[in-house]
Structure 1
């Protein structure tokens, strides 16, 4: 009997220990997470389902944290003694799903943003209860999907025949990173594939353009959160715009250079003509300038006649003339021609005028003019019966020469006959200056 009673006591102790172990496990605090990973599109709402188990009826102390990529965790919600404290970044968007206190401590985030992506952690503590290890922590990964923003379409290059251009398409935002595709809108849309089309970079390369490449091209930016697109028009031209601009610039520069050269030539010709006109005016002898007044000469043995058209040369050289020698020339003396010598010749003087024979040949020249002495051309008296022929020493007298009256003044024709050389002398104005 003792043996049987001892065995029963042993089994009772074992059963008691097992009961105590069961009670202890039911009293441990533990946090439960229904879904460890959540995905939501931006601006939509997301619920993070979490609840805890505990034998204690005390109010829990709950905190929620978020840990973004490459950042430290940040507290976003706290519940303690019936009061809720929410971070400023989540104000108006974050709250408990159930009225607290409750063992269901799920939270909801409204109007989600891209910055809401991260790892959310919930910590629960209850008085008179404890947890083993990290049993009081719940972890949920939340991913906020962002639809691609409207992409920007651009054309790189000059679209003319034979050239190469690149069309680019890029969305400023989108999570995950969007992929791109290009089509050409037509009756039957033309779809482009690699290597012409790069879906990651969003570029489309068109080489050796032709007129058929003209049209509207559409780029589509796409991810699991949404789709967005943009359009661009490509017009292939026959001439490069760059060539037109360069030609216009070169033509303008060439035109300006030609105008500058033409202006310089015209200015040079104008200055040259003006200078030539001034030189011609300075060297021109005014024919209508009045002749200087005849200067009076004193009467005397060496005085000559005042020429009515006297010049500086005639007035300065007549005093050098010497009177004819007193020796009478022979009646047979003739006027020399070629040499212009007239030594020993005395022109007859009748009635106060000098008479000169008329030359019979164009080559004959007249003797130079000699100034009279004492008003007479001869030192001896002139016979009064020159009209009567007399015979002396049985020599027949010569017939009298025919006397030709010449004016007392000396003209230009008489000067030429007498062998004078014409000299151009600048005229004088009334003030005595040369013109």
Structure 2
């Protein structure tokens, strides 16, 4: 009795996939496909059909697990059928993308479908079927391939005659074992004789290029499930006159600076002229008449003195004898209408009268006895 209880407990604690081979009633009949390859975005069916024997009387359990490549990680259950119920929410990365091919796995079909494949779905999958006392399992290696996409072509190097350059081609996405092939699709449609192609890296090297190398080139990236291509235009031109270009740039810069300085100068000059016009407009009034000539005033004064000398008597010439001829006062200028009345009138000095053309007059002096000297 003790021995029987020990065996029963051992069967319960031991994982059912370790019991494979202990019984021969249950049998997986699907063809063993150790490797399956599919393209990204497609659907794959992982087969797992089986048969049971009369001695297999226990409940049917079907479990699919993803075995990690890293032995340190645990297996991940992705879908399970147990006690007439399906559980497909174990693996979050495949929620909504994994299902049993047959809605009723009791019919002997435990195959599953994985929809909208992704590159992360690549791995080893195992189907485990248990119907006590029978236990069987089968492994399948799934590889999700990504076809080349977003392939770009570009030129590296100077496109001048006599130079060396490289046409490069690279795909942003795509499974390994990609191969690249270049071809010319214009002109002679043949690659130059000096070209060197590396199909693994997608580089096409051109040595000592000439204008005949110009044209449109196409690169095709390919792997086992698809292709993708891109184009680039090569235009080989004569060397550029670097010295002339630099000289032209310097001259253009200097001319630009000179023009800028000239414009600044003109603006400053124009601003000063406007400022001066405003100041003059406020200081000079248009309705003020010009001042009278000093020369005419001085001459009129001297003429009046001459005419008065003839009628002078010895008695009334005493005051004139004391005044020298070079100190004759000038006549007051006529005050302009806008002149301040409190401001004293200006005088004209004797030397100025001489320069104006006035004739000095000798005024006779009178002796003590009244006679004229």
Which residue does 1:327 correspond to in 2?
none
Q: Which moved more, 1:33-42 or 1:51-60?
A: 51-60
Give the alignment of 1:225-374 within 5 angstroms.
Answer: 225-238=225-238, 240=240, 250-262=250-262, 289-291=293-295, 293-294=297-298, 299=317, 300-303=320-323, 304=325, 312-314=349-351, 372-374=364-366
Which residue number in structure 2 is paired with residue 80 of structure 1?
A: 82
Q: Secondary structure at the match of 1:151?
A: strand
TM-score by length of 1: 0.52
SS for the counterpart of 1:144 is: strand
Query: SS in structure 2 opposite 1:172?
Result: strand
CA–CA separation in structure 1 for the residues paired with 2:85 and 2:242: 71
Q: TM-score, normalised by structure 2?
A: 0.59
The C-alpha deviation readout for 1:238-281, integer Å capped at 9, x for no partner, is 4659999877754542222222454577799999x9xxxxxxxx
Structure 2, unaligned stretches of length 5 or more? 1-20, 274-289, 306-315, 332-346, 355-359
Deviation per CA, 1:372-401: give whole Å up to 9, x if none: 4449xxx899xxxxxxxxxxxxxxxxxxxx
Distance 1:102 1:125 in 2: 14
Q: Which residue of 2 aligns with 1:183?
A: 183
**Count, aligned residues:** 288
> Is the 1:52–1:105 contact (alpha carbons within 8 Å) kept by the matching residues of 2?
yes
Partner of 2:33: 35
Match of 1:360 in 2: none
CA-based RMSD of the aligned residues comes to 4.7
Q: Work out the CA distance in 2 between the residues paired with 1:380 and 1:47.
A: 159
Give the deviation of 1:76 after TM superposition: 1.8
Distance 2:75 2:247 in 1: 64
1:195-231 residue CA offsets vs partner (Å, 9 max, x unmatched): 8433333233445443222210101101111111111
Distance in 2 separating the partners of 1:114 and 1:268 = 72
CA offsets, 1:332-390, max 9 Å, x none? xxxxxxxxxxxxxxxxxxxxxxxxxxxxxxxxxxxx99654449xxx899xxxxxxxxx
Contact 1:219 / 1:229 at 8 angstroms: preserved in 2? yes
Partner of 1:50: 48
Q: Compute the displacement of 1:156 (Å).
A: 4.0
Higher mean alpha-carbon deviation, 150-159 vs 72-81, is at 150-159
**Alpha-carbon contact 2:148-2:175 (below 8 Å) kept:** yes
- Structure 1 unaligned regions, length at least 5: 1-23, 274-285, 318-367, 382-435
> Are 1:122 and 2:127 matched, yes or no?
yes
Specify whether residues 301 and 40 from structure 1 end up closer, same or farther in structure 2 by C-alpha distance, changes over 3 A only: closer
Aligned to 1:433: none
* Alpha-carbon separation, structure 2, partners of 1:307 and 1:27: 158
Q: Secondary structure of the equivalent of 1:204?
A: strand
Distance 2:160 2:211 in 1: 9
Q: Secondary structure of the equivalent of 2:174?
A: coil
Aligned counterparts of 1:197 and 1:216: Cα–Cα separation in 2: 16
| Aligned-pair CA distance for 1:31 | 5.1
Secondary structure at the residue paired with 1:101? helix
CA deviation vs aligned residue, 1:21-71 (integer Å, no higher than 9, x gap) = xxx965465656622222233344433233456541434201101245557
Quickly say closer, same or farther: Cα 1:313–1:84, change in 2 above 3 A.
same
Q: Is the 8 A contact 2:194 2:207 kept in 1?
A: no
Cα separation, partners in 2 of 1:43 and 1:267, compared to 1, 3 Å: closer
Of Structure 1 and Structure 2, the greater helix share is in: 2
CA distance in 2, matches of 1:198, 1:269: 70
CA 1:145 to 1:373, structure 2 compared with 1: closer, same or farther past 3 Å? same
CA–CA distance in structure 2, aligned partners of residues 197 and 241 of structure 1:
32
- Contact 1:158 / 1:240 at 8 angstroms: preserved in 2? no
SS of the residue corresponding to residue 228 of structure 2 reads strand
Runs of 4+ in structure 1 displaced over 6 angstroms? 192-195, 241-248, 264-271, 305-311
